[in-house]
């Protein structure tokens, strides 16, 4: 890594180190499905995790394995004790849904700003790569459609909903 040569360079490096990263909103569900107006139901699972995924411009494919390991290993299902089993332990499904609004900035005004969201081309590439990574590690698996208007129907089990932000 090349170190900055100016104070402005260090300030920019500091800002980047504090930047948000890939974000997932995870819901433990009894069942969930996603559909589009044109295609009807395009993905569904029974017991498992509904995972909304959003990316920011600084995200790269290098962070995807860490997110996949964390997602598959999260102990949010009850076994002998509350929250001691992972989605893999219970053979549950995973439904991944792309959602750029997770990167919204709500600090100013009344309208969300999406300037912190990854550009669509980058976000789609990362979502596709993450989809393939999780699909190769876990089944049953389903996904939403990038860039589509979708309707998500779910029965939240708990309710149990979790934020997962990578450092």
Query: What token pair was written down for 98?
Result: 């792309």
Q: Tell me if residue 41 falls in helix, strand or coil.
A: strand
Annotation says 143 is catalytic: no
Q: What is the pLDDT of residue 8?
A: 72
Q: Is residue 14 part of a domain?
A: no
pLDDT tens digit sequence for 12-60: 654 554 455 889 999 999 999 999 999 999 999 999 999 999 999 999 9
pLDDT tens digit sequence for 130-154: 999 999 999 999 999 999 999 999 9
R_g (Cα) of the chain, nearest Å:
17
In eight-state DSSP terms, residue 92 is -
Give the count of domains, the chain.
1
pLDDT tens digit sequence for 66-107: 999 999 999 999 999 999 999 999 999 999 999 999 988 888
Q: Is residue 11 part of a domain?
A: no
Mean pLDDT, range 102-131, rounded to an integer: 93
Q: Is residue 6 part of a domain?
A: no
Structural domain boundaries, residue 79: 20-165
* Contact of 74 with 84, CB cutoff 8 Å: no
Tell me which of 60, 66, 101, 151 is the catalytic residue.
101
Q: What is the pLDDT of residue 135?
A: 96
Taking each helix axis from N to C end, the angle separating 64-73 and 120-137, rounded to the nearest 10 degrees, works out to 50
Q: Is residue 81 part of a domain?
A: yes
Q: Is residue 37 part of a domain?
A: yes
Q: Is residue 76 part of a domain?
A: yes
Q: Does residue 116 have a pLDDT over 70?
A: yes
* Contact of 54 with 23, CB cutoff 8 Å: yes
What's the burial of 90, exposed, middle or buried (CB within 10 Å: 0-12/13-18/19+)?
A: middle
Tell me which of 52, 55, 77, 99 is the catalytic residue.
99
List, as own/partner pairs, every contact residues 134-138 make where C-beta atoms lie below 8 angstroms and the sequence separation is at least 24, other chains included: 134/68, 134/71, 134/72, 134/94, 134/96, 137/68, 137/72, 138/72, 138/87, 138/88, 138/94
Tell me which of 52, 55, 77, 100 is the catalytic residue.
100
Place 165 in a pLDDT band, splitting at 50, 70 and 90. Answer: confident
Q: Is residue 13 part of a domain?
A: no
Annotation says 101 is catalytic: yes
Residue 109: which region, alpha, beta or left (left: phi > 0; alpha: psi -120 to 50)?
Answer: left
Q: What is the pLDDT of residue 16?
A: 53
Any idea what the CATH number is for the domain that residue 120 is in? 3.50.80.10
Q: Is residue 98 part of a domain?
A: yes
């Amino acid at each position: 890594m090349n170190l900055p040569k100016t104070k402005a360079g260090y300030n920019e490096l500091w800002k980047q180190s504090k930047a948000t990263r890939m974000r997932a909103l995870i819901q433990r569900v009894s069942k969930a499905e996603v559909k589009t107006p044109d295609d009807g139901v395009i993905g569904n699972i029974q017991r498992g995790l509904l995972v909304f995924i959003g990316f920011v411009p600084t995200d790269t494919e290098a962070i995807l394995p860490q997110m996949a390991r964390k997602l598959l290993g999260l102990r949010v299902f009850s076994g002998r004790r509350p929250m001691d089993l992972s989605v893999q332990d219970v053979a549950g499904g995973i439904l991944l849904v792309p959602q750029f609004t997770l990167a919204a900035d709500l600090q100013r005004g009344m309208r969300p700003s999406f300037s912190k969201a990854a550009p669509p081309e980058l976000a789609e590439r990362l979502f596709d790569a993450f989809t393939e990574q999780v699909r190769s590690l876990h089944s049953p698996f389903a996904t939403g459609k990038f860039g589509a208007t979708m309707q998500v129907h779910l029965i939240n089990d708990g309710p149990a909903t979790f934020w997962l932000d990578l450092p």
